[in-house]
Amino acid sequence: MSYRPEKRIHLCLAHMSGKEQDYIKEAFDTNWVVPLGPNVNAFEESIREYVGHGEVAALCSGTASIHLALKCLGVGPGDEVIVQTFTFCASSNPVLYLGATPVFVDSEKDTWNMDPVLLEEAIKDRKVKTGNYPKAIITVALFGMPPKMKEIVAVAEKYGIAIVEDAAEAMGSKYDGKYLGTFGLYGVLSFNGNKMITTSGGGALICPDEKAKQRVMYYATQAREPFPYYQHTEIGYNYRMSNICAGIGRGQMLVLEEHVAHHRKVQSMYAELLAKVKGITVHKQPEGGLFDSNYWLVTIIVDPKIKIKGQYEVADKAHLSGEPNINVEALRLFLDRANVESRSTWKPLHLQPVNAKCPVYVNGVSENLFKKTLCLPAGPYVSEEDVKYIVDKIKEAIC
């Protein structure tokens, strides 16, 4: 009998250490059921120790963390912010919340992250076109893969532009021996339900120092000023993390390393088992020791020339024009019927209707990758048997 998973195999499900409920119980027992308290302080401290850098502000989401990083950098109406185009909408939406304009920059094909050469071209061209340099650069570590940070930091420093690192998918990933989230002036983590660790929903901003953290917390607390009554000179937000959620986070820190090791193991299994399958390429980090991805999700490139069972039915659906290739969509549906969740990679943000008016600097890499790539399950509940099963299903799907 061949192996059949008992349940649907998901991309990345939340997985608990078992200690989470103890911290939550402590919060209830001491009535710290508010957006501050011992769990928040201890969670922030454990992240700070883990990344070994700066100060950490726990917030209600990764998106809120990007928003406040930009707010602290003084981004406002009329400003431009460079954002990697190959990413989730949360990387650029906060730019729009602030009335500023995202300028989208394409990826290079090794890491699928921001192309440092194109980044510099974009910076120079914005100066010519608007008279100003962009206010910030938002880099992204797509599916956990570190960007070419050395080159990107060199460009940012040359023009004196601050980096906000969107490491929402990259907790535990390293570049040149250092954790992602510690290369920019600010680093963003997410603890949404499907990320490396979860607080059910939440995020953190890695700040350069205590003063910067205080500024972040001021904006996260409705810009309340130190008066005996409620005094506000600026507009703030309600963005703090609940002490209950932080309790989950404390428990999750106990399994973070285990999660990272698991994702890497799963990636190496896919790479090995799919190595000889024609038309399927597992995306790998560049060699040479600089890159150490957490492989939050494993991604494959599907050769447009291979045929997948059922792809002609998919082709009938006109809505797919300009979207993932029909063989990619057919493979997704084939896996779905085998009870395996897979998902196309992020549709580049410069192709999203909501961003139609934003300036773009593209080289075709992200559009091309979006059409022919698929994300495969890699979370803590994906077993070795599951990986073998998924690989068998992929082989079965190819005509």
DSSP characters for 343-392? EEPPPPGGGSGGGTTS-EE--SHHHHHHHHEEEE--STT--HHHHHHHHH
Member of 102, 172, 203, 310 binding ligand PLP (CB under 6 A) = 203
Closest CA to 290 of 191, 146, 163, 182: 146
- Number of other residues whose CB lies within 10 A of the CB of residue 201: 17
d(CA 103, CA 208): 25
Residue 189 has, within 13 A of its CA and on its CB side, a CA count of 28
**245 near ligand PLP, rule: CB under 6 A:** no
Which range in 56-64, 103-111, 120-128, 153-161 contacts ligand PLP by CB under 6 A? Answer: 56-64
Instruction: Compute how many residues bind ligand PLP; rule: CB under 6 A.
Output: 14
**91 near ligand PLP, rule: CB under 6 A:** yes
Estimate the share of the chain in helix, then strand, then coil, as percent rounded to the nearest 5. Answer: 40, 15, 45
DSSP character at residue 179: E
Q: Specify the residue, 63 or 325, whose C-beta has the smaller distance to ligand PLP.
A: 63
CA distances 330 to 16, 191, 270, 343, Å, are 34, 31, 20, 12
Closest approach, Cβ 142 to ligand PLP, in A, equals 7
d(CA 382, CA 151): 35
Which range in 24-32, 37-45, 60-68, 299-307 contacts ligand PLP by CB under 6 A? Answer: 60-68
d(CA 84, CA 164): 11
Member of 85, 192, 242, 366 binding ligand PLP (CB under 6 A) = 192
What is the b/e burial string over 7-34, where b = at least 16 CB atoms within 10 angstroms of the residue's CB? eebbbbbbeebebbeebbebbeeeebee
**168 near ligand PLP, rule: CB under 6 A:** yes
Member of 63, 113, 199, 366 binding ligand PLP (CB under 6 A) = 63
Query: According to CB under 6 A, which residues from 92 to 151 bind ligand PLP?
Result: 140
**90 near ligand PLP, rule: CB under 6 A:** yes
**62 near ligand PLP, rule: CB under 6 A:** yes
Closest approach, Cβ 207 to ligand PLP, in A, equals 17
**345 near ligand PLP, rule: CB under 6 A:** no
Q: Specify the residue, 136 or 308, whose C-beta has the smaller distance to ligand PLP.
A: 136
**327 near ligand PLP, rule: CB under 6 A:** no
**87 near ligand PLP, rule: CB under 6 A:** yes
Closest approach, Cβ 18 to ligand PLP, in A, equals 23
- Name the site residues for ligand PLP (rule: CB under 6 A): 61-63, 87-88, 90-91, 140, 166, 168-169, 190, 192, 203
